[in-house]
A and B are shown apart, each in its own frame.
Chain A
Amino acid sequence: METTAAALPIEPLETSRVNYLNQEYGLKSWLLTKDHKRIGLLYLGSVSLFFLLGGIYAMLIRIELLTPQGDLVQSHTYNKLFTQHGIIMVFFFLIPSIPAVLGNFLIPLMIGAKDLAFPRINLLSWYIYTAGGLLTLWALVAGGVDTGWTFYTPFSTTFSNSYVILAGLGIFINGFSSILTGLNFIVTIHTMRAPGMTWFRLPLFVWAHYATSIIFILGTPVLAITILLLAFERLAHVGIFDPAYGGDPILFQHLFWFYSHPAVYIMVLPGMGIISELIANFSRKNIFGYTFVAFSSIAIAVFGFLVWGHHMFVSGQSVYAGMIFSFLSFAVAIPSAIKVFNWTATLFKGSISYATPMLYALGFIGLFTIGGMTGLFLAALGLDVHLTDTYFIVAHFHYVMVGGTLLAYLGGLHYWWPKITGRMYPEGWGRFAALVIFVGFNLTFFPQFLLGYMGMPRRYHVYSEEFQVLHVMSTAGASILGVGLLMPLVYFIWSMRYGRIAAANPWRLPGLEWRTSSPPPTENFETTPIVTWEAYEFAPPEELEVVGKLSPRDEPDHPALQP
């Protein structure tokens, strides 16, 4: 097992004194930057602010739910709290977080390009995001929205007395920022790979973002037009969703979920990309079944478009439609399962580090397994009838969104923090925070599965007393989770000034992003790199070990063994 670190780049490269952070100074140099790394940081700032806001809403919700009566706020305020928590977290944190921050920063670095294909469009997408965000914030300040983040008609078109149009417009505009980001990624990955960087040498993070971009391009426009029609309908009192005008409220649900179910994969696929990076790099192993992991991302992106109807099993749609959607929903679970198994197998005979990012990755696998498996409960038609619209749903998607996406995002931030800022985060604090978050998260959301099966409906401000014990547990967990999440916020900011100076390749990894200085220069690489190694190639391919007693007919899929 012990071999020489032949393929590991020897401790690097003089840290260059001029980098993307200090090349230019001043507000203007940031607000007019076309550098993907700076734009990534702009996104990091805005996304973090929205996360903080969404988190405050979450805390208020949890405090309110400590008691069965509505003690803290009135019903209409509570409805605004969960609506705004949902809108902010989904549209302004989860969807942009990993792609727009880490994807933006890393894709050109990982493929050996100087920038994304369209730097100006990249900057534009941040401005669009900001404009959409400000409009939505305006709606929140002006009086809030109380439709739920799903905007179901005819409540949203006719009955709600809140700022639906303004918030909708914000989401509509924000959608174009996603579309432009996706477009930029697809073009960049197609045309800007460095010499030798073939498709199957791409880090899996890039594959995951390619799959995500497909969803951005195919899904977001449908949401955009849906929200636009909703806003017009609310404005003009005529339209196609309210049955009072001859419309069909279920059509809205179809259009909405056609985007919003794939949007779940927008949130989780980039997270899976990060986990693939972390698992491989922190066990110094090539990923087990690279092609399976890569294509499972594409499969998820494609199949994800065919399962939207599973949100509507109780809406009165035909039982046969329900059957088809249920079948496809079970099918889409398989690529996710493949990923989990391959990650686990990657650890086999690895050299596993216990650094903070790896702790997040391990936490992710555990929680995502639970989140994914409980998704099967909801895909099973007869069971979904009982579980849908209860806390079981709430628990399930928080396991996927928080236990999945958020943990992956945090793991990724820790992992690339030295590359982004040129400073190390404090390792001890990092591990401690990861542990606190893991414990707090489970305590918050596990009781909600039980609440759901007991019949506690979601979006309830006042509830029946038998549910209180579990709600108190959940709130206690949320407090721990909240503290855990504040810790990285503090030490990340602290480390930007006081953290240990990071080497170009502090983790000693073969990836392209580690073969330039930390932080990288504006053009990313001194000279365009030429790639001659496979993804995650820690040791020379001659040493490849074939697991198990395979018959000679079994061709391992490692490229080094291909003729």
Chain B
Amino acid sequence: MQGWIPFIPERASTLAGRVDGLYFYLVGVTIFFTLLISATLIFFVIKYRRRSESEVPRPVAGSLKLETLWSVIPFLIAMSMFVWGADLYFAQYRMPKDALEVYVVGKQWMWKVQHTTGQREINELHVPVGRKIKLIMTTEDVIHDFFVPAFRTKADVVPGRYTTLWFEATKPGRYHLFCAEYCGTNHSGMTGWVTVMEPTDFDQWLSGGANQESPIVAGQKLFQSQGCTSCHGAQGEGGKGPPLVSLFGSTVKLENGQSVQADESYIRNSVRSPQSQIVEGFRQPLMPTYYKEQLSEEHLLQIMTYIKSLSPTRTQGITTTAPARENNERTGPATPDATGAKTIDSQRSNPVGSTPPSVRTPGQ
């Protein structure tokens, strides 16, 4: 509960206060109009009650003036709500550029979370306070919805595509995480907790999972084991297939003369449906289709981070502040590099560990 105001959930993100502000405005307007109309109704009903069975009141003509008045005033009030709401919506759904990325995969009926540093969680999400967090989400089966009431935000998680959500927690604590889109039998069990921690506690928590390999490393392993190297080259330099180095964020010319931005959706599409967007000069359909059965959404996300890591300049160009770097400065020893180094020493020469994975989002 939020102090003296009942029925308001905890306010724990930078946007929660703004959402509450709009809510209070609308509650105020609603109470005003409901009272206005009920009071008028009750007054009329009592004052003009039928006093004799035979009475017939005089008819009353309509009034254009009144009609205009009570069309225009509500319209203006509605427009104020519209502008306020739209402004807030942009703040909610325009992804910030300098956010720490976390991958989320929904699955009947659990939330699987993976941090760029390698930590994995189920139905839990640990985040530091005062840091913008961006979730890149998809699902292995049906539509889910990632909803944290304390942050006043939610977004559908849709199969076959990535959706994003961001927040910046303001208060350490544990907050409800709900699946808000009906997803089958155990829908109401698809809940969890978002734990917001002080940055130092968060670093400690991160170092606790030091043995887990980072998604970039995992992605690189998959890149080799799935046979991608045979066409795209051992380091993604290309061969029978188009090169992947410096691909992410670039503009790709297609065989049909069109060009597309190489973003997450493009890479995902090239794996799931390789024939749909053929790169210029690679007419031969050599690339097999990787269905969900061969390559889960989680694995695809790992390969994605690996491919992104092959474009260090571009990803840096897109993200104004490199998240992992910033994290480095804040946190000292517990860095992604360190975790990567511990597990696979030989990878150090790669651009892998040092490159912050990041994404281009539609809003930018």
CB distance from B294 to the nearest CB of A (A): 13
Residues in B whose Cβ lies below 8 Å from that of A548: 63, 65-66
Partner of A558, one of B59, B149, B188: B59
Alpha-carbon gap, A450 to B155, bound state (A): 21
Partner of A538, one of B59, B81, B85, B186: B59
Alpha-carbon gap, A285 to B52, bound state (A): 15
Closest residue to B180 on the A side, CB-wise?
Answer: A389
Partner of A338, one of B44, B67, B108: B67
Q: Contact string, B41-80, partner A, CB cutoff 8 A, digits 1/0?
A: 1001100111110111111111111110011001100110
Is A384 in contact with chain B by the CB < 8 A criterion?
Answer: yes
Q: Contact string, B155-187, partner A, CB cutoff 8 A, digits 1/0?
A: 110111101000000000000101111111111
Is A453 in contact with chain B by the CB < 8 A criterion?
Answer: yes
The answer to whether A385 and B45 touch across the interface, beta carbons within 8 angstroms, is: no
Closest residue to A75 on the B side, CB-wise?
Answer: B185
Alpha-carbon gap, A42 to B19, bound state (A): 49
Is A518 in contact with chain B by the CB < 8 A criterion?
Answer: no
Alpha-carbon gap, A448 to B79, bound state (A): 27
Is B38 in contact with chain A by the CB < 8 A criterion?
Answer: yes
Alpha-carbon gap, A341 to B40, bound state (A): 10
Is A319 in contact with chain B by the CB < 8 A criterion?
Answer: yes
Partner of B188, one of A75, A159, A246, A327: A75
Q: Number of B residues whose C-beta is below 8 Å from A?
A: 93
The answer to whether B108 and A334 touch across the interface, beta carbons within 8 angstroms, is: no
Closest residue to A7 on the B side, CB-wise?
Answer: B56
The answer to whether B40 and A344 touch across the interface, beta carbons within 8 angstroms, is: yes
The answer to whether A155 and B59 touch across the interface, beta carbons within 8 angstroms, is: no
Taking CB atoms and an 8 Å cut-off, the chain B residues in 3-17 that contact chain A are 7-9
Is A362 in contact with chain B by the CB < 8 A criterion?
Answer: yes
The answer to whether B81 and A539 touch across the interface, beta carbons within 8 angstroms, is: no
Is A4 in contact with chain B by the CB < 8 A criterion?
Answer: yes
The answer to whether B58 and A455 touch across the interface, beta carbons within 8 angstroms, is: no
Alpha-carbon gap, A158 to B143, bound state (A): 12
Closest residue to A292 on the B side, CB-wise?
Answer: B67
Partner of A389, one of B70, B92, B147: B147
Is B329 in contact with chain A by the CB < 8 A criterion?
Answer: no
Residues in A whose Cβ lies below 8 Å from that of B37: 340, 344, 365-366, 369
Residues in B whose Cβ lies below 8 Å from that of A159: 108, 141-142, 184
Closest residue to B159 on the A side, CB-wise?
Answer: A243
Provided the pairs A455-B149, A554-B65 are in contact, do residues A314 and B90 lie with their beta carbons within 8 angstroms? Answer: no
Residues in A whose Cβ lies below 8 Å from that of B54: 5
Q: Contact string, A1-33, partner B, CB cutoff 8 A, digits 1/0?
A: 111111110000000000000000000000000
The answer to whether B19 and A333 touch across the interface, beta carbons within 8 angstroms, is: no
Residues in B whose Cβ lies below 8 Å from that of A4: 56
Alpha-carbon gap, A485 to B74, bound state (A): 34
CB distance from B332 to the nearest CB of A (A): 36
Residues in A whose Cβ lies below 8 Å from that of B67: 289, 292, 338, 342
Residues in A whose Cβ lies below 8 Å from that of B282: none
Residues in B whose Cβ lies below 8 Å from that of A444: none
The answer to whether B60 and A154 touch across the interface, beta carbons within 8 angstroms, is: no
The answer to whether A337 and B41 touch across the interface, beta carbons within 8 angstroms, is: no
Residues in A whose Cβ lies below 8 Å from that of B51: 351
State which of B22-30, B122-130, B304-312 sits at the interface with chain A: B22-30
The answer to whether B78 and A334 touch across the interface, beta carbons within 8 angstroms, is: yes
Chain B interface, DSSP helix/strand/loop, else mixed: mixed
Alpha-carbon gap, A146 to B48, bound state (A): 51
Q: Tell which of A2, A159, A353, A376 has the most Cβ of chain B within 10 Å.
A: A376
Is A347 in contact with chain B by the CB < 8 A criterion?
Answer: yes
Q: Contact string, A508-552, partner B, CB cutoff 8 A, digits 1/0?
A: 000000000000000000000000000001110101111110100
Alpha-carbon gap, A388 to B38, bound state (A): 28
State which of A54-62, A259-267, A456-464 sits at the interface with chain B: A456-464
The answer to whether B152 and A386 touch across the interface, beta carbons within 8 angstroms, is: yes
Alpha-carbon gap, A324 to B9, bound state (A): 30
Residues in A whose Cβ lies below 8 Å from that of B85: 326, 379-384
The answer to whether A344 and B34 touch across the interface, beta carbons within 8 angstroms, is: no
Alpha-carbon gap, A386 to B13, bound state (A): 13
Is A557 in contact with chain B by the CB < 8 A criterion?
Answer: yes
Is A160 in contact with chain B by the CB < 8 A criterion?
Answer: yes
Is A195 in contact with chain B by the CB < 8 A criterion?
Answer: no
Provided the pairs A338-B70, A373-B33, A548-B63 are in contact, do residues A330 and B82 lie with their beta carbons within 8 angstroms? Answer: yes
The answer to whether B158 and A5 touch across the interface, beta carbons within 8 angstroms, is: no
The answer to whether A543 and B58 touch across the interface, beta carbons within 8 angstroms, is: yes
CB distance from B155 to the nearest CB of A (A): 5
Taking CB atoms and an 8 Å cut-off, the chain A residues in 335-375 that contact chain B are 337-338, 340-342, 344-345, 347-354, 362, 365-366, 369-370, 373-374
CB distance from A253 to the nearest CB of B (A): 9
The answer to whether B44 and A347 touch across the interface, beta carbons within 8 angstroms, is: yes
Alpha-carbon gap, A457 to B262, bound state (A): 36
Is A152 in contact with chain B by the CB < 8 A criterion?
Answer: yes
Provided the pairs A365-B37, A380-B81, A382-B22 are in contact, do residues A454 and B184 lie with their beta carbons within 8 angstroms? Answer: no
Alpha-carbon gap, A222 to B91, bound state (A): 35
The answer to whether B186 and A75 touch across the interface, beta carbons within 8 angstroms, is: yes
Is B234 in contact with chain A by the CB < 8 A criterion?
Answer: no
Is A316 in contact with chain B by the CB < 8 A criterion?
Answer: yes
Alpha-carbon gap, A347 to B49, bound state (A): 9
The answer to whether A338 and B71 touch across the interface, beta carbons within 8 angstroms, is: yes
CB distance from B169 to the nearest CB of A (A): 16
Partner of B176, one of A154, A288, A366, A464: A464
Is B86 in contact with chain A by the CB < 8 A criterion?
Answer: yes
Q: Contact string, A269-310, partner B, CB cutoff 8 A, digits 1/0?
A: 000000000000001111011111000000000000000000
Is B277 in contact with chain A by the CB < 8 A criterion?
Answer: no
CB distance from A51 to the nearest CB of B (A): 24
- Please name 19 further chain A to chain B contacts, defined as beta carbons within 8 Å, in addition to the given A154-B142, A457-B180, A458-B182, sorted by A numbering: A7-B56, A79-B185, A152-B182, A292-B62, A314-B156, A326-B86, A334-B75, A337-B71, A344-B40, A370-B30, A382-B18, A450-B7, A453-B8, A457-B188, A460-B178, A462-B188, A545-B61, A546-B61, A547-B66
Q: Which 9 A-B pairs have the closest CB atoms?
A: A382-B88, A455-B149, A243-B160, A380-B85, A556-B61, A381-B89, A460-B188, A347-B44, A389-B180
Q: List 14 A-B contacts (CB under 8 A).
A: A5-B54, A70-B188, A152-B142, A243-B161, A249-B159, A333-B78, A344-B37, A380-B82, A386-B152, A454-B9, A455-B9, A460-B188, A554-B64, A557-B64
